[in-house]
Structure 1
Amino acid sequence: MEIKTYLNEQRQRVEKRLAELMLEPAGEFSRHIESMRYSLFVGGKRIRPVLCLAGAEAIDPSEPVRNSTLTVACALECIHTYSLIHDDLPAMDNDDLRRGKPTNHTVFGEAAAILAGDGLLTYAFDLLSSPHSAKITDSVRIRIIQTIARAAGPLGMVGGQSLDMLYEGRQVGYETLRRIHRSKTGALITASVVCGAMVAGASIEQEEALGIYGNNIGLAFQIVDDLLDVEATTEELGKPAGSDVQAEKVTYPSLFGRETSRTMAREAVQEAIAALECFDAQADPLRALAQFIVDRKK
């Protein structure tokens, strides 16, 4: 499989559906919605929604299922974008560049950026809970909402970010580092894959296998992110390089060194692919995405 072609095709589908679903800036809320749209449409790889679509495809590649999964995929991208807006704020990582463009708060102001993030987060659950937006049974819809809420919430992404900030400038061990990133990065990645499979009618056994896959690619994704922070340029990353070092964050390279970290990322991808043993060729996009994650340069 040519993964770059697959990514581009799926990204275009996500972009088209996002444009259909997203509010238009009009009336008294115009500036607020413009701020939401600015960060949502400024670019990005759309890894999480693509993983959601690939998770569904591994179970059922039919067009009706793919169309139903698109709304869930777009909701996940809204949540991810909100997290980036808030991560960039002066009170958090204090970054002025994201996806190669000025961060939301540098364009619209800090208060407007906070509200843009809040708006995207809550709008995501509006999309997920609207029966007209996708042909998903109510019982599956509730499971998807709960899974994503837990992945994004106080014991998931938000909790992981709080730990990331708590331990800045402090020495921590591997278990703490893994807990931070399993929550901050891995939880929403895992939920993306599993929720796509839920839309397609996956069995419990299939969901569990995809959960193992998601946990491992989430780990690999974060390790590669840590490596790129010290190896890539700001132009390549589209965000400030070296920011983790400057903020004295605990990272895999700081704890294990670059080569060991790279080996850990490769091993995590191997475990992810091994978890897909019970799937046929319909899961090849997931296999290729795992390899793409560990091989990426930005």
Structure 2
Amino acid sequence: MDIKKYLQSQRRLVEQALEEFMLRAEGDFKDHVAAMRYSLFVGGKRVRPILCLAAGRTICGDDSLDDQLLPVACALECIHTYSLIHDDLPAMDDDALRRGKPTNHMVFGEAQAILAGDGLLTFAFELLSRPSAGGLDPEARIQVIHTIARAAGPLGMVGGQALDIAFEGRNIEFDDLKTIHRSKTGALITASVQAGALVAGATEDQLQALGSYGNNIGLAFQIVDDLLNVLSTTEQLGKAAGSDAERGKATYPAFFGVEKTRQLAREAVERALGALDGMGEPAEPLRALARYIVERNR
């Protein structure tokens, strides 16, 4: 399949849904909502919501459940965007650019950026829990909310961010780096795949297979991010290149060098593809997404 055309069409679908669901910048809270919307609509690959949609369609075989999948997909993008706003803050990575545009705190100030992130995180769970969201079965809804909350919280993305900051400038073991990557990046990517599968009524075996797929593409995604930070320019990345080394962050290239790191990313993708064995043609978008992750240049 043509992955570029697929990603373009799916991004449009997700962005149309985000526009439908997202609050408008009007009334008493217009400035706060404007800050939320700024980062949500400033661009982005929309990888997590697209994975959610692709996983759901893999299980049900078509796009008949998109009305149920889209609120979940959009909630995942809200959570991801909140994490970027907070990650860019002066107290964390102190970045001035994100997706080629000034970061949220550069436009709205630190306090409003913090609150914009808080608003997006909380709004995500409003989306996930609203009774009118596509007629999702209540038990499945609880499973989806639990899966995403666990992945986003202290044993997932937030915990990984905390470790990432704590280990800056320190010599750490490779196992520590794996924990950071698995938590900070991999957990929400895996949850995106599993949440889509849960909406579609996946069996336990299917959930385990898709969990393995998600774990491995999450690892590949972060490994490639590490590589791009070393090899790309700021213009290509849309954010500061070379920042990992400047901050003394542990990365795969720092441990293994560039070529070995590329090999490890390819191996992770091959494991992800292997996890989809037996899922047939409906899983082809997931396969193409796995290959895209290791081949992307930003």
- 1:132 corresponding residue in structure 2: 132
1:43-122 → structure 2 map (5 Å cutoff): 43-122=43-122
> How big is each residue's C-alpha offset from its partner over 1:99-139, in whole Å with a ceiling of 9 and x where there is no partner?
00000000000000000000000000000001202221000
Residue type matched to 1:296 in 2? R
**Number of the residue aligned with 1:270:** 270
Q: TM-score, normalised by structure 2?
A: 0.99
Give structure 2 stretches of 5+ with no counterpart: none
Report how far residue 62 of structure 1 moved.
Answer: 3.4
- Whole-angstrom distance in 1 between the partners of 2:211 and 2:63: 24
CA distance in 2, matches of 1:40, 1:222: 21
Cα distance in 2 between the residues matched to 1:64 and 1:213:
23
SS at match of 2:201: coil
Structure 2 distance, partners of 1:221, 1:196, is 19
Aligned mates of 1:247, 1:73 — CA distance in 2: 33
Structure 1 distance, partners of 2:137, 2:106, is: 42
Which segments of structure 1 move beyond 6 Å, counting only runs of 4 or more? Answer: none
User: 5 Å matches for 1:243-262?
Assistant: 243-262=243-262
Q: CA offsets per residue over residues 153-175 of structure 1, 9 Å max, x none?
A: 00000000000000000111111
- Structure 1 counterpart of 2:167: 167
Q: Is the 8 A contact 2:217 2:290 kept in 1?
A: yes
Contact 2:216 2:268 in 1 (8 A): yes
Residue 194 of structure 2 corresponds to which residue in structure 1?
194
Q: Which moved more, 1:60-69 or 1:261-270?
A: 60-69
| Higher mean displacement: 61-70 or 14-23 | 61-70
Q: Matched residue of 2:155: which SS?
A: coil
**Secondary structure in 2 matching 1:133:** coil
Amino acid at match of 1:286: L
SS class of match (1:90): coil
CA contact (8 A) 2:62 2:282 kept: no
Which residue in the other structure is 2:4 paired with? 4
Partner residue, 1:41: 41
C-alpha separation in 1, matches of 2:63 and 2:244: 42
SS in 2 for 1:168: coil
- 2: distance between equivalents of 1:280 and 1:223? 28
The CA distance in 2 between the partners of 1:210 and 1:63, in whole Å, is: 18
- SS across alignment from 2:94: coil
Q: Secondary structure at the match of 1:94?
A: coil
- Quote the offset at 1:64 in angstroms: 3.1
How many residue pairs match? The answer is 298
- Give distance in 1, aligned partners of 2:257 and 2:281: 36
Q: Could you tell me how far apart the structure 1 residues matched to 2:41 and 2:217 are?
A: 25
Structure 1 portions without partners, runs of 5+: none
The farther-off stretch of 164-173 and 81-90 is 164-173
* Residue 264 (structure 1) shift: 0.3
Q: Cα deviation per residue 1:190-238 (whole Å; 9 max; x = unaligned)?
A: 0000100111111010000000000000000000000000100000000
Bigger CA drift: 83-92 or 127-136?
Answer: 127-136
Q: TM-score by structure 1 length?
A: 0.99
In structure 2, the residue matched to 1:292 is 292
Task: Report the Cα offset of residue 63 of structure 1.
Answer: 3.4
Report the Cα distance in structure 1 between the residues aligned to 2:19 and 2:232, rounded to whole angstroms: 31
Percent sequence identity is: 63
AA aligned to 2:81 is T
**Which residue does 1:19 correspond to in 2?**
19
Q: Could you tell me whether the CA contact under 8 Å between 2:57 and 2:63 is conserved in 1?
A: no
AA aligned opposite 2:150: R
What is the CA-CA distance between 1:92 and the residue it aligns to? 0.2
**In structure 1, what is the equivalent of residue 177 of structure 2?**
177
3-state SS of paired residue (1:253): helix
Aligned twin of 1:158: 158
Return the alpha-carbon distance in structure 1 between the equivalents of residues 34 and 61 of structure 2. Answer: 35
